[in-house]
Amino acid sequence: MLELKDIVFDVTEDDGSTKRIIDGVSLKLDENKFYVVTGPNGGGKSTLARIIMGIEKPTSGQILLDGVDITDKSITERAKMGISFALQQPVRFKGIKVHDLINIASGKDLGTGEACEYLSAVGLCARDYIEREVNSSLSGGELKRIEIATVLARGTKLSVFDEPEAGIDLWSFQNLIHIFETMREEIKGTILIISHQERILNIADEIIMIADGKITKIGKKEDMMLDIIGATLEGGICGRMNVEEGGAR
């Protein structure tokens, strides 16, 4: 359903030199599968996710969604075509309530009961949160779950999560894993998660390993143990206890 063809992404450094972040990535994602992209920090994982959503434009290459070339489509157009994205650092909005955000995500005015269902699905006691502002009164873990709830409310054919575990506490992390395990069981559409976490790797249909801007291997976890151990030794994959560690974009 999503195809990346020879994607290259370069950035210009302060000294004027060019640095290649993504180096010729080609990838095909199938419908209704659960993918996890992992690999060492700074390897280009988050950049690839942002290129899929249209937040970053590739230097060269092509992106196809169900056979349609979306390389030059805007974020809004891609969202309307069926791509959702959960940001690594959820955004705060003064004055915008959780209910407003879920309404925008779903594209309609949901009643309180219906909007609350999405919050309950991410483990939040819905009635305590639905009328709260998405502002600094919410903790990182709460924001993360609300971010995921907006993706659930969209219900699109492709959902991309950029390091959902980054910046949240251990307690919230345990709940987060449960959310993705539930999503895995009730999968509707294709899910692509950028993650370092072993428990998220465990539930993937396929793991995509990215290092130095290239895909180094694609396969099931059991087939990739040596690669994962290698990345772990390089500090790229975290054990369960090191959940505060977020990756670079």
Partner 1 sequence: MAELSQAQKDLLETIAGLTCMPGGAFNIRANGGLAERQVTEHINITSKTDKPGIDIHIAPETKGETCYIPVVMDESGMTDVVYNDFYIGDGADVTIVAGCGIHNCGGEDSQHDGIHRFFVGKGAHVKYVENHYGSGDGMGKRILNPVTEVYQDEDSSVEMEMVQIKGVDSTIRTTKSELAKGAKLVVRERLMTHGEQHAESVYLTELNGDGSSADVVSRSVARDNSYQKYTSRIVGKAECSGHTECDAILMDNARVLAVPELDAACLDAQLVHEAAIGKIAGDQLIKLMTLGLTPEEAEEQIINGFLA
Which residues contact partner 1 by CB under 8 A?
53, 55, 74-76, 79-80, 83-85, 87, 89-91, 93-97, 100-101, 104-105, 107, 150, 154
Query: What is residue 97's DSSP assignment?
Result: B
Q: How far is the CB of 229 from partner 1 (least distance, A)?
A: 34
Q: Find out whether 64 and 2 touch, Cβ atoms under 8 Å.
A: yes
7 CB-near residues (< 8 Å, 6+ apart):
22, 24, 25, 26, 48, 51, 58, 60, 61, 62, 63
Report the nearest approach of partner 1 to the CB of residue 80 (Å): 5
Nearer to partner 1, 83 or 110 (CB): 83
Closer of 45 and 78 to partner 1 (Cβ): 78
Kind plus residue range of the DSSP H or E element containing 219: strand 214-219
Least distance to partner 1 from the beta carbon of 164, Å? 15
Strands 2-12 and 60-65: antiparallel
| Comparison of 45 and 99: residue with beta carbon closer to partner 1 | 99
User: Which C-beta is closer to partner 1: that of 49 or that of 237?
Assistant: 49
Minimum CB distance to partner 1, residue 173 (Å): 22
Hey, what are 144's tokens? 């993360």
Sheet holding 158-162, edge to edge: 83-86, 158-162, 190-194, 34-38, 206-211, 214-219
Residue 136 CB, nearest approach to partner 1 (Å): 11
Nearer to partner 1, 152 or 215 (CB): 152
